[in-house]
Amino acid sequence: MAMLVVITEAVPPRLRGRLAVWLLEIRAGVYVGDVSRRIREMIWEQIEALAEDGNVAMAWASNHESGFEFQTYGENRREPVDHDGLRLVRFLPPQVN
């Protein structure tokens, strides 16, 4: 079991309801819980299936050098990148319309 944090933006109520089955919503769109790897992977499958045009960031405790891992879904200026085995976040330039 490992601590899991899921942060959502602009996701459908259906996904928010699904997340609330396994995790505690401590602020609007912020979910936390202590789940197994299997449950974490199942939650991610639900995110991919239901998030539509929203954004999701999911982070969990791990044995990596940083002490955690993360993955993201949807478009965002923050983009995960691998730098010599360490996951970092790169900011993309703002979109000009």
Whether 97 maps to a domain, the answer reads no
The mean pLDDT value for 91-97 works out to 76
Contact 74, 15 (CB under 8 A): no
Residue 14, C-beta contacts closer than 8 angstroms, at least 6 positions apart? 50
CATH number of the domain encompassing residue 16: 3.30.70.240
Max Cα distance, the chain (Å):
44
Whether 21 maps to a domain, the answer reads yes
The predicted pLDDT at position 4 comes to 98
The predicted pLDDT at position 22 comes to 96
Whether 40 maps to a domain, the answer reads yes
Whether 96 maps to a domain, the answer reads no
- pLDDT surpasses 80 at 85: no
Whether 11 maps to a domain, the answer reads yes
State the total domains in the chain.
Answer: 1
CA distances from 63 to 23, 75, 89, 93 (A): 22, 28, 19, 32
Count the neighbouring beta carbons within 10 Å of the beta carbon of residue 61: 14
The predicted pLDDT at position 87 comes to 79
The mean pLDDT value for 64-81 works out to 85
Angle between helices 13-22 and 37-50 (to 10 degrees): 170
What domain range is 58 assigned to? 2-91
